[in-house]
Copies of this chain bind each other. A is one copy, B any other.
Amino acid sequence: MKILTKETAKKFIPWFLPFTLLLGWQLLAWTGAIPERILPAPSKVVIAAIDLFSTGELLSNVSISLGRALAGFLIGGIIGFVFGLLNGIFRITDLLFDTSIQMLRNIPHLALIPLVILWFGIGETSKIFLVALGVLFPIYINTYHGVKNVDKGLVEMGKVYGLKGTSLFFNVILPGAMSSILVGIRFSLGVMWLTLIVSETISAHSGIGYMAMNAREFMQMDVIVMSILLYALFGKLSDVIARYFEDRLLRWNA
């Protein structure tokens, strides 16, 4: 019984704050303290969501964005991962690339758009490129950090016991860096969605980022707020995914 309540508490406590906020907001809206036009009540937002959902618009926006997000995530994630590994392991690639990557990472997507359009046009490529760029760095930096911090003694042990190349990598370096890499993945799963709002300003007519920016343009506060909530949910979702992998891959650390 007690364990049961503890387990349920664990499930519900995290949602306490979001729901309290929602409730407070709804109450404030009802009492009229927040003017409807400016910040619609959660109930209105839900209605807007149902509306968009029933027309299929919401689902198609989300699924289009999801496609872009995943493509970008895969490309950027893999590149970031590979560079993180290389630079973490080899002194020479570290010297060659790290500075460049640290510089590249600091270029705002919004400022890059003119160049991205020049290079990739206004089609899907540019959108995916921007997502990839955004996802690259959290994964890069955490992979790099993870690899650099693998216990030197264990690497030495691995080498002495005849591991090298891929076997050293898969048996020692990767598992040793895994916990840090997962932080990078968690972060970049969020960034993946975030970047869409910038990349979908490039001549898009669908996608969740487009939906949000479009709503902002025409001051559809209910849609803006709905997009924000949707993004928040995706944030939680990326967290759940990352945690799932953590639980699986870091079992030994429990």
Contact = CB atoms under 8 A, between A and B. Distances in A.
Contacts of A112: 228
A92 B216 CA distance: 37
A231 B106 contact: yes
Interface in A125-146: 137-138, 141-142, 145
Contact of A17 (B97, B198, B238, B239): B97
Copies in the complex: 2
A124 to B, nearest CB: 20
A107 B228 contact: yes
Contacts of A231: 106-108, 111
Contacts of A137: 187, 190
B235 A107 contact: yes
Contact of A232 (B13, B106, B138): B106
Contacts of A179: 145, 149
Contacts of A197: 108, 110-111
A114 B216 contact: yes
Contacts of A164: none
A190 B134 CA distance: 12
A106 B212 contact: no
Given A103-B18, A111-B213, A236-B102, A183 B145 contact: yes
26 contacts: A10-B95, A17-B100, A39-B118, A99-B239, A102-B235, A102-B238, A103-B235, A104-B235, A105-B235, A106-B236, A107-B232, A107-B235, A108-B193, A108-B194, A108-B196, A108-B198, A108-B212, A108-B231, A110-B197, A112-B228, A113-B216, A115-B224, A137-B190, A142-B183, A145-B180, A180-B183
Q: Which 3 pairs show the lowest CB-CB distances between chains A and B?
A: A106-B235, A14-B99, A103-B232
Interface of A: 9-10, 13-18, 38-39, 92, 95-100, 102-108, 110-115, 118, 137-138, 141-142, 145, 149, 179-180, 183, 186-187, 190, 193-194, 196-198, 209, 212-213, 216, 219, 221, 224-225, 227-228, 231-236, 238-239
